[in-house]
A and B are shown apart, each in its own frame.
Chain A
Amino acid sequence: MIVIRLEDLLYSAPLLVLTSSGLLALIAEAAGRDKPVISYYTSLIGVITSLILTFLNLGAGVPVFNNMILQGGYAAYCNLIFLSSALLSIVLSRSYLERMQYHRGEFYVLIVFATAGMMLMAAALDLTIVFLGIELMSICLYVLAGFMRKKELANEAALKYFLLGAFATGFLLYGIALIYGTSGTTNLVVISRSFAQLSGNSLFLIGCGMLIVAFSFKIAAVPFHMWAPDVYEGAPTTVTAFMSTGAKAAAFATFVAVFVRVFDIPGTALSSVLALIAAASMIVGNVTAIAQNNVKRMLAYSSIAHTGYMLSGIAAGNAEGEQGILFYLVAYTFMNIGAFGIVSWVEQQEDRKLKFDDYAGFSARQPAVAVLMSVFMFSLAGIPPFAGFFGKYYVFLAAVKADMTWLAIIGVMTSLVSVYYYLRLVVLMYFCEGESDVAAKVPLAAISAVTLAAVLVILLGIYPSLLVDMTKGFFKI
């Protein structure tokens, strides 16, 4: 006998509202041809309503639907990240897609469904829901990556992402099967209770290792990062913004939910594996980013490096690490989506104006946009008083407290390396001569979206405690 309680539906209202708006947008798209604007407004209203409902839901987390998902608390906090990422991407996409002549209603539908998948991932209390959420998100992203279907690079990106993603899903399923086989359940809470006995079982550890492989693929951590630069380059720029913030945050949210909340990893082999992956991501991401000439590729490698910083928080596995990641995710989402937003304004059809040199002398023609871009670049480089600094501070502090000082040292050294390529863009904008400009008149909605991101980056850099206090109670089950 299935029982659905009224509370279940009320607590999951953000998810239900968002999904319904996606379905409505799909019906609108099918019924009235060539009016993508209807789909745009429907999904926008859905995301904003869901955002408001999530704010009302921020209290303690409540398990609903027979302990399958958790709503409120941790899930609500993560939903705020996904929904703001979706909101900013949708707003930025409209003018971008119109300019690129790929404005279709399905775009917004796919973004909304991918966001619903992310919300399921963060809320999952059961490995089957983790799988369901990851697939819902990934399948939408495969299509979005190849949305400019007449472009060769976009086709390559979509196919590469799809094939490698399907492979990673295989790892996830094998991992879940092994964990189920050794523990007899897929419920994360039940597994966490018997973690002490299970951690001696080698089959169980292999299952956990496979989960690490699958999650590392989704967050683009070295050595599972090969797809990221090509996919980020080939996908439409606003989709790249969405993928590198929302999708990465979602994968991190599940990673944290599974490995920190449920498994007691400090001191086990899993912790050293995660530390090694983190170190490799920081080194490879930052060093390779230096050699890039394409801004999108540079940001792709930088996103691999940021994965490394955040992973050191998971490897540390202490309270500081958990709160550090959650803060970092918010900071990273806003600074990265802002940077990609500006890249999408400068980009022109057929992948023109994506090189570093295309930003030379930018400040002369667009002083305000140059200031915004500099804010994002300084924040990505981790220079105070921007939010990126405190994100790094928290995760490195966590690593030091967990006796992984070597990881923090690598983190700081590679951050120094990253300053070179982030500031290269700032130097080009301010100190070089050039003809660069934004491609066309940017609408007010897109400007306010990027400005909002910049304001949040500065605000969170000055008052990081606003968020950090919120995250304190999330990890008690």
Chain B
Amino acid sequence: MLETYIPIFVVIAGGIVFGIVMVKLNEWLGPRRPTDEKLSTYESGMEPVRTARERFSVKFYMVAVLFILFDIEVVFLYPWAVAFKELGVAGYITMTVFIVILLIGLFYVWRKGALEWD
């Protein structure tokens, strides 16, 4: 049973060895002309101004939590959509209940003002 996994282990081992060899080769053979610009942190073209380790608003956390909540919904909706015909009426009713419960949650979140930034 384990033998079937040998090719996968070979690929993983090959990948690790190839990666290390390439990085080391680059270090030995490549020219190095460092400047301040090159050594600074890459920030998608923006100029890094100060440290990233500082306190930030809890609102970001709120948005992240809400995003995950409603993102997970899709994880359930997608397989249901694929197997819609096989699951039949019972599946339709079950998912409707699920979505209604989520909608109640959305209503709560909305009324409590968690969707507003200020």
Chain A residues with CB under 8 Å of chain B are 1-4, 23, 26-27, 29-31, 33
Is B98 part of the binding interface, using a Cβ–Cβ cutoff of 8 Å?
A: no
Q: List 15 interface pairs A-B (beta carbons < 8 Å), by A numbering.
A: A1-B86, A1-B90, A2-B87, A2-B88, A2-B90, A4-B93, A23-B104, A26-B104, A26-B105, A27-B107, A29-B108, A30-B110, A30-B111, A30-B112, A31-B111
Compute how far the CA of A1 lies from the CA of B110 in the bound complex, rounded to whole angstroms.
Answer: 36
| Distance from B18 Cβ to chain A, minimum over Cβ atoms (Å) | 32
Is B96 part of the binding interface, using a Cβ–Cβ cutoff of 8 Å?
A: no
- Taking CB atoms, residues of chain A closer than 8 Å to B104 are 23, 26-27
Compute how far the CA of A4 lies from the CA of B91 in the bound complex, rounded to whole angstroms.
Answer: 9
Closest to A19 in B: B101
Compute how far the CA of A30 lies from the CA of B104 in the bound complex, rounded to whole angstroms.
Answer: 9
Chain B binding site: helix, strand, loop or mixed by DSSP? helix
Evaluate contact between B88 and A26: CB separation under 8 angstroms.
no
- Taking CB atoms, residues of chain A closer than 8 Å to B108 are 26-27, 29-30
A23-B101, A30-B112 known; A2+B107 contact, CB < 8 A: no
Compute how far the CA of A34 lies from the CA of B118 in the bound complex, rounded to whole angstroms.
Answer: 20
Compute how far the CA of A27 lies from the CA of B104 in the bound complex, rounded to whole angstroms.
Answer: 7
- From 74 to 99 in chain B, residues with beta carbon under 8 angstroms from any chain A beta carbon are 86-88, 90-91, 93-94
Evaluate contact between B111 and A1: CB separation under 8 angstroms.
no
Evaluate contact between B107 and A3: CB separation under 8 angstroms.
no
- Taking CB atoms, residues of chain A closer than 8 Å to B93 are 4
Evaluate contact between A1 and B87: CB separation under 8 angstroms.
yes
- Taking CB atoms, residues of chain B closer than 8 Å to A1 are 86-88, 90
| Distance from B103 Cβ to chain A, minimum over Cβ atoms (Å) | 10
Closest to A23 in B: B104
- Taking CB atoms, residues of chain B closer than 8 Å to A4 are 90, 93-94
- Taking CB atoms, residues of chain A closer than 8 Å to B107 are 27, 30
Compute how far the CA of A23 lies from the CA of B107 in the bound complex, rounded to whole angstroms.
Answer: 11
Compute how far the CA of A413 lies from the CA of B90 in the bound complex, rounded to whole angstroms.
Answer: 57
Given contact pairs A23-B101, A26-B104, enumerate 9 new A-B contacts (beta carbons under 8 Å). A1-B86, A1-B88, A1-B90, A2-B88, A3-B90, A23-B104, A26-B105, A30-B110, A30-B112
Compute how far the CA of A88 lies from the CA of B104 in the bound complex, rounded to whole angstroms.
Answer: 27
- Taking CB atoms, residues of chain A closer than 8 Å to B110 are 30
Evaluate contact between A2 and B111: CB separation under 8 angstroms.
no
Compute how far the CA of A29 lies from the CA of B112 in the bound complex, rounded to whole angstroms.
Answer: 9
| Distance from B20 Cβ to chain A, minimum over Cβ atoms (Å) | 31
- Taking CB atoms, residues of chain A closer than 8 Å to B86 are 1
- Taking CB atoms, residues of chain A closer than 8 Å to B112 are 30
Please name the 5 residue pairs, one residue from A and one from B, whose CB atoms are nearest each other, closest first: A30-B111, A2-B90, A30-B108, A4-B90, A2-B91
Among candidates A2, A26, A30, A33, residue contacting B94 with C-beta atoms closer than 8 Å = A2
Compute how far the CA of A23 lies from the CA of B100 in the bound complex, rounded to whole angstroms.
Answer: 10
Q: Which of B88, B110, B111 has the most CB of A within 10 A?
A: B111
Contact flags (1/0) for B10-42 with A, using CB distance below 8 Å?
000000000000000000000000000000000
- Taking CB atoms, residues of chain B closer than 8 Å to A29 are 108
Compute how far the CA of A1 lies from the CA of B92 in the bound complex, rounded to whole angstroms.
Answer: 11
